[in-house]
Structure 1
Amino acid sequence: MRRAPATRHRLLLGGFALLSLGSLLAWSTLPLGAVPANTVTVTRADIESSVTALGTLQPRRYVDVGAQASGQIRTLHVEAGDTVRKGQLLVEIDPSTQQARVDAGRFSIDNLKAQLAEQRAQFKLAKQQLARQRSLADAGATREEDVQAANAQLSVTQARIDMYQAQIRQAQASLRSDEAELGYTRIYAPMDGTVVAVDAREGQTLNAQQQTPLILRIAKLSPMTVWAQVSEADIGKVKPGMTAYFTTLAGGKRRWSSRVRQILPIPPKPLEQTSSGGGSPASATNGATGTQVVQYTVLLDVENPDGALMADMTTQVFFVAGQASGVLTVPLAALDERDGMHIAQVLAPDGQVQPRQVRTGLSDRLRVQVLDGLGEGERLLIGQGSGG
């Protein structure tokens, strides 16, 4: 009973001895000077240097349709998502008040025209009386005062005619304004497009005296515009006309290609800080330092023939600063930077490590283009070995 544990103990000791002997033999076969480290190979690949940013999709062309007439919405002929044509009737507002003003204006003009006709008759009579007085004056049968009175009456009548004509023109101008406001009770589509938002409902009362109430928005869903927010550290690398592409969460691996149309020179105005710590979407706050990262808006247009892009979608934008195909590349982690130079630790076939200066080109933040100093297929130390 006591011999079995002793036997197992001897077997374990023997196994450890064999493992130690194998490790010693393996170590003795290593080349002199070998450095235990991970290695990477210099390979050819395509590389792209780009600036990344987040953005939001918006229709490039849209119009907010508002009400210029006050009143209750009688009929709303469209809903969100409807396609409309320019000139299509969208909304009808109760026209009772505006129609009453138009009717009153027309009645006022009719009254003024009647008074104008009366004054013209008076003018005709005054003209005849003046001619009679002048005839009598030539025969010495009337006084000069009577001639002057007849002449004054003719002038007064002419002045009244001019006054009524001016009042008629004023009333007609007022009537045109009332008729225009009556026309505003029927709202038509100002452009072809899609109704993307409806902010009012049938039966709602609109007050257009203080501000223009917004009823709905019409937009053309092609082309769309990406409003990308680029940090001030990267904005100097972005230029108008630069090639760019973007992806969306809903689009999977699909890419949309575009070019930079415009860079807005002034960043959006920061919003007031709220008690909850909210800030402007155009700036990010570094919690450690309390400083804000300024972001500039870059605009890109893209056609949307299949309607896959929708308003307010979030996009990841890549501004392509440079591209190269089939060039030598290595991971950035395989290079050390010393005094402004890039140094690679090259693993020679005999196991020796040779530091070598490397001239680099484009970088995609993971890999870097090798312009000079390394050859295809060479192995580089990475990790602990690259620092030795």
Structure 2
Amino acid sequence: MTRSLLLLAVPLWLPLLAGCGEKGHEAGRGGNPPAPVVTGVQVEVVKAVAVPDLAEVVGTVRARTSAVVLARIPGTVTLLKVREGERVRKGQLLARLDAQETGAAGAAAAAGSDEAQRALDEAEARKRLADVTFERYQRLYREQAITRQEFDTKQTEREVAAQGVARALARYRQAREGARAASRMADYARIVAPLSGVVTAKQVDQGSTVFPGQPLMTIDDQGSYLLELALPESLAARAKAGTPVQVTLDALKATFSARIAEIVPAADPQSRTFVAKVPLDRQGVTTGMFGRAAIGLGSGANAILLPERAVVEHGALTSVWVVEQGNIARMRLVKTGKAVGGKVEIVSGLADGERVVLSGVEKVSEGAKVE
């Protein structure tokens, strides 16, 4: 009896379940929201073009003119008037050294020069007296008022006086040059700027003891800068003076065109690279900045180039928005290559003739209709 009741109940429930299923299906078809519509975006058909064959090298910004100020005499820094980053003018006093030995030597040399001057004056006075006496004895000898012996004696005294003047003059010149050298050495206690620029490094502080040849500070001329690139040996033969380059300074977020001015003909034995110098004409450039340069080596294979704003990066994934049939936007994963003049090379993921969103990518969503 129980078994018969169960069999009768199943047929009664089947029509009810079927009816509920049909209603649910109809509700699903009518409940899907319509695809969002996106406007104000730029869509273009991409085409493969010849991509320049570029080689990217790195380098460092340096001042075209830089001076390292060295100590020429030993001493102690008693005055230091500049700091890093401070602008100085040519001839400005930067520091002063206390060099007592040098000062004493200069004073002694000056005193020796004065003594040599007085000796020269004395020798010249003796020669004038010898000349006058000789002329007098010469007249007397003509008048036969004196003997030949007396005349020869006065003539010899005149010649000796002349030699005395010559020796005194030589000693005076020697003493004068010594005093001049000592004075110059004393002047080395005053450290002055050899050029106008900015102090980029300072190796000593007030109270430091310095020795001849020790660097004190570095001054860079801010009038012009160079980007010194490290060219590998494989590029040294292909790049030359006048070769155009695309320079990027990350610190300034700037990319601009320039040309190689010169290439140092000797390679660095450690890195096996040549130095290429690129003049920079930019505001805000300072010594030590990192820079990159793309050197054109000719035309390479065809590839698709997209503006950087068209490429979307999500972590390690790179994608673009492709507009397919019906103007429906679809996200497409792509593989990028090198950057060329503000554009990115698409290595794979796109085909020639496809439509891609170039600007306004932040408005687009998967499945959206683009108008």
TM-score over 0.5 for the alignment? yes
Q: 1:220 to 1:112 in 2, by over 3 A?
A: closer
5+ long unaligned stretches in structure 2? 1-44, 306-338, 355-371
Q: Secondary structure at the match of 2:54?
A: strand
For 1:302, the equivalent position in structure 2 comes to 280
- C-alpha deviation, 1:142, in angstroms: 3.0
The answer to whether structure 1 residue 215 and structure 2 residue 231 are counterparts is no
Q: Contact 2:251/2:290 (CA < 8 Å) preserved in 1?
A: no
Q: Contact 1:257/1:302 (CA < 8 Å) preserved in 2?
A: no
Q: Contact 1:42/1:329 (CA < 8 Å) preserved in 2?
A: no
Output aligned runs, 1:23-172, within 5 Å.
43-44=47-48, 47-172=51-176
What is the RMSD computed on CA atoms of the aligned residues?
Answer: 3.2
For 2:329, the equivalent position in structure 1 comes to none
Taking structure 2 as the reference length, the TM-score comes to 0.64
The answer to whether structure 1 residue 201 and structure 2 residue 205 are counterparts is yes
Q: 1:367 to 1:107 in 2, by over 3 A?
A: same
For 1:320, the equivalent position in structure 2 comes to 296
- C-alpha deviation, 1:42, in angstroms: 7.0
Deviations 1:126-156 (A, max 9, x none): 3343344334434544321121111101110
- C-alpha distance in 1 between matches for 2:129 and 2:237: 86
For 1:226, the equivalent position in structure 2 comes to 227
Q: 1:66 to 1:304 in 2, by over 3 A?
A: farther
Q: Secondary structure at the match of 1:81?
A: coil
Q: Contact 2:49/2:304 (CA < 8 Å) preserved in 1?
A: no
- C-alpha deviation, 1:92, in angstroms: 1.0
Q: Contact 2:75/2:209 (CA < 8 Å) preserved in 1?
A: yes
Aligned positions, number: 272
For 1:239, the equivalent position in structure 2 comes to 240
- C-alpha deviation, 1:67, in angstroms: 2.1
Q: 1:162 to 1:243 in 2, by over 3 A?
A: same
- C-alpha deviation, 1:367, in angstroms: 5.7
- C-alpha distance in 2 between matches for 1:72 and 1:152: 57
For 2:7, the equivalent position in structure 1 comes to none
- C-alpha distance in 2 between matches for 1:188 and 1:100: 22
- C-alpha deviation, 1:114, in angstroms: 2.1
Q: Secondary structure at the match of 1:233?
A: helix
- C-alpha distance in 1 between matches for 2:50 and 2:133: 106
Q: 1:95 to 1:161 in 2, by over 3 A?
A: same
For 1:311, the equivalent position in structure 2 comes to 287
Q: Secondary structure at the match of 2:267?
A: coil
Output aligned runs, 1:215-294, within 5 Å.
215-252=216-253, 254-270=254-270, 282=271, 294=272
- C-alpha deviation, 1:322, in angstroms: 5.0
Output aligned runs, 1:179-190, within 5 Å.
179-190=183-194
Q: 1:60 to 1:133 in 2, by over 3 A?
A: closer
Deviations 1:64-111 (A, max 9, x none): 111223322211110111111122111111253333233222222222
Q: Which amino acid in 2 is paired with 1:109? A: S
Give percent identity, aligned residues only: 23
- C-alpha distance in 1 between matches for 2:346 and 2:234: 21
Q: Which amino acid in 2 is paired with 1:314? A: F
5+ long unaligned stretches in structure 1? 1-40, 271-281, 283-293, 332-362, 369-374, 379-388
